[in-house]
Amino acid sequence: MRTIPTTPDLRNALDNLRKQDKRIGFVPTMGALHEGHRSLVKMSKQQTDVTVVSIFVNPTQFGPNEDFSRYPRTIEADESILIDEEVDFLFLPEVDQIYPAGHSSSIHIGPISSVFEGAIRPGHFDGVAIVVSILFNIVQPNVAFFGQKDAQQLAVIRKLIRDFAFPIDIIASPTIRDENGLALSSRNRYLSENEKNEALAIPTMLFLAKDLLMNGQSPADAKMASTLEFQRLAPNMKLDYLDIVDNETFQPKSSFDNRQNSPSATIIIAARIGATRLIDNLLI
């Protein structure tokens, strides 16, 4: 694996490979890598000729009171995972490679970026949209891989691709969970054992809501029943939201057709335990 810290060096290396008609796969991350990230890398290795991973803790997607400065940075462990997976290039830029002095442009994706995660984290998806666009322009991949774990981010990226005509295929990868069902997240390392146990109410609630919807309950009824069950199971957690939304627009669904073959809705949840905020979802 070659670790490359600057944009021109990465461009040169990839230009040569592109001339040889190599298919380039890209996995953008903020590091603190776990099995969820590893699954994206494995997908890229299987489906493309050259895999580029970026690690960049993007300041523009963190709010002023969020965890940017304490976001876990574990670069040595990350590099060894990526070497193990035989990644070709690690792009590891400093802030000035992504946002050179004087950088002032922004991207606002529209209504989807101001509901749910976007409502609670104002400006978050604008920060994701600008950094992913810049990374796409630097790497110019054929395919980019994103996790279903961040369902709203995935929908924002798909909208970005359509609205700006990026010639890049987006592939979504299923959420990787631990043996108890908790979705893996770089932020799980902040949780104590007790908090981790209580956080299991999140996947329990998701699977309960799915059962209720599949058995014909309306989204409103399924939402109410699973909210009550969540509060019973996790009295110390603060629920930010729990809802059943359209996959593409993230607008709440007033009805759900349980006979459809492909998923049309997503059950979404965000909750806090102590100082840690967790999000999860289930496609139905």
| Residue closer to ligand PAJ (CB basis): 115 or 129 | 129
CA distances from 101 to 12, 98, 164 (A): 22, 10, 24
> What are the residues whose beta carbons fall under 8 Å from the beta carbon of 192, sequence distance 6 or more?
274
Place of tokens 């830029």: 93
Compute the CA torsion angle 117, 121, 123, 125 (nearest 10 deg). -30
> What are the residues whose beta carbons fall under 8 Å from the beta carbon of 157, sequence distance 6 or more?
128, 129, 132, 144, 146, 170
| 128 near ligand PAJ (CB under 6 A) | yes
* Options 34, 37, 103, 108, the catalytic residue: 37
Question: Among 25, 37, 44, 152, which residue sits at the site for ligand PAJ (rule: CB under 6 A)?
Answer: 37
| Residue closer to ligand PAJ (CB basis): 37 or 253 | 37
For residue 78, the minimal CB distance to ligand PAJ (Å) is 10
Residue closest to 23 by CA, chosen among 185, 167, 175:
167
For residue 114, the minimal CB distance to ligand PAJ (Å) is 17
| Residue closer to ligand PAJ (CB basis): 98 or 273 | 98
| 53 close to 91: Cβ distance less than 8 angstroms | yes
- The mark string for 162-201 relative to ligand PAJ (x by CB under 6 A, - otherwise) is -----------x-xx------xxxx---------------
- The mark string for 45-74 relative to ligand PAJ (x by CB under 6 A, - otherwise) is -------------x--x-------------
Task: List the beta strands (DSSP E) in the chain.
Answer: 2-4, 24-29, 50-55, 89-91, 143-147, 169-173, 238-246, 265-273, 276-283
37 is catalytic: yes
Q: List active site positions.
A: 37
**Which positions lie near ligand PAJ, rule CB under 6 A?**
28-30, 36-37, 39-40, 58, 61, 128, 131-132, 146-147, 149-150, 153, 173, 175-176, 183-186
